[in-house]
């Protein structure tokens, strides 16, 4: 049976795609709101980015236990609706001129709490509505939609920001979350067997043991944690770097970030076949190495001359963004499909929450760190440091056991 015959997955895919389009609009709109409307610095952008992920540091492991004990669809619906309302609040307060950096941080902390639970359920929900043999295809389909949204979202955001301003661009995302919640509510989901009623501490330890004693997940988790640290430094710095040093406008930024989306679409389209031919570990190793030249192209882009951007800078940043998006699209479905396939259902919530919470904890460190280095020592220095970190991750991954991982490795499912 093909994916299209699984009606619950089709509804899930529609809801996910709807919110994805809004998310990639807000990703750019919120940063422009801080830099342009509120005259914020790279450090301000870093702190706002970190505030969104702070709940992952404080509540991530507990969230995994809660998710394994609750009705997952209800969590998806309520968190979608809640996030939609919060983004609408940002729009309204910005329009009336009462928004500031502090209030955005507070709102994004609350937004992050809802995202924490939504993300943990999202990744744990797919294996319950899709057969194991279709997991990689299902994740590829979801990430293809996200990639298409990433392609068009920034371009739409750039146009919207230039036309009606950054605050109203966030309104679009708010509405998309509300629509996603409504569609998600229509899924006819039958709850799986829930985790035992052991104390929370015992269940957290069980989730940690599963991830960090598994011969493959351990390497994947640790390497990805470090990757997120340097990835968050890059992403934090690039927007402010492009605006202030390369002379990019909001519209050009939208075009540039669309290149990453195009690369991601191509990457996700090739992901399943590449994994079957060269193995999950081999393809992921290639992807982790590909991030290095992608950022090098961006950091070598020549600065604007008398506030006018240079064509060479635009070309180099576009190619760099394309390669970065291609690498993420290529490895994303394989990584997620592998994690889901080797983890028992009763541990899905804790496995996903453990890995995701620590990954996001790295953003809490990396985003303000990148912004601080950029403000103190220059944007290019911050990007070079992230390049070195990404290179370490690529070499480490290539020399580890994970490079030999295969989706059909059923025998390692209990190896922890």
Could you tell me the mean pLDDT of each successive run of 10 residues in the chain, 416 residues long? Answer: 72 83 73 77 77 79 72 85 91 84 89 84 75 74 74 68 74 86 81 59 82 87 94 88 83 80 86 86 93 95 75 91 92 84 78 81 86 90 95 94 68 40
Q: Can you give the residue ranges of every domain in the chain? A: 3-412
Task: Give pLDDT, residue 289.
Answer: 95
Which numeric CATH code is attached to 3-412?
Answer: 1.20.1250.20
**Rounded to an integer, what distance in angstroms lies between the CA atom of residue 344 and that of residue 325?**
30
Task: Give pLDDT, residue 411.
Answer: 41
């Amino acid at each position: 049976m093909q994916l299209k015959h699984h009606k619950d997955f089709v509804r899930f895919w529609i809801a996910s795609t709807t919110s994805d389009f809004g998310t990639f609009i807000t990703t750019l709109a919120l940063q422009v709101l801080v830099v342009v409307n509120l005259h914020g610095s790279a450090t301000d952008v870093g702190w706002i980015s970190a505030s969104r992920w702070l709940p992952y540091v404080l509540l991530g492991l507990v969230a995994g236990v809660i998710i394994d004990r609750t009705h997952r669809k209800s969590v998806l619906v309520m968190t979608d609706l809640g996030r939609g309302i919060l983004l609408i609040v940002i729009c309204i307060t910005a329009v009336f001129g009462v928004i500031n950096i502090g209030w955005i941080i507070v709102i994004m902390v609350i937004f992050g709490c809802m995202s924490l639970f939504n993300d943990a359920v999202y990744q744990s929900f797919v294996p319950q509505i899709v057969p194991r043999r279709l997991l990689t295809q299902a994740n590829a389909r979801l990430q293809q939609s996200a990639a298409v949204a990433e392609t068009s979202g920034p371009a739409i955001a750039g146009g919207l920001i230039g036309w009606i301003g950054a605050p109203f661009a966030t309104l679009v995302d708010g509405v998309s979350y509300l629509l996603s919640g409504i569609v998600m509510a229509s899924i006819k989901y039958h709850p799986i067997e829930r985790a035992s009623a052991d104390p929370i501490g015992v269940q957290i330890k069980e989730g940690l043991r599963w991830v960090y004693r598994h011969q493959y997940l351990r390497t994947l988790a640790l390497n990805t944690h470090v990757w997120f640290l340097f990835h968050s430094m890059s992403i934090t710095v690039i927007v402010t770097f492009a605006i202030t040093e390369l002379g990019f406008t909001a519209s050009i930024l939208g075009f540039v970030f669309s290149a990453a989306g195009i690369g991601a679409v191509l990457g996700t389209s090739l992901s399943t076949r590449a994994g079957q031919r060269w193995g999950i570990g081999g393809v992921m190793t290639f992807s982790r190495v590909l991030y290095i030249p992608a950022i090098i192209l961006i950091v070598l882009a020549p600065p604007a001359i008398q506030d006018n951007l240079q064509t060479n800078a635009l070309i180099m940043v576009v190619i760099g963004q394309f390669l970065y998006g291609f690498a993420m699209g290529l490895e994303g479905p394989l990584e997620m499909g592998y994690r889901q396939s080797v983890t028992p259902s009763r541990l899905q919530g804790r496995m996903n929450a453990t890995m995701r919470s620590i990954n996001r904890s790295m953003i809490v460190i990396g985003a303000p760190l990148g912004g601080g280095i950029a403000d103190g020592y220059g944007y290019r220095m911050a990007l070079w440091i992230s390049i070195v970190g990404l290179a370490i991750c690529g070499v480490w991954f290539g020399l580890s056991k994970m490079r030999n991982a295969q989706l059909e490795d059923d025998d390692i499912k209990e190896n922890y």
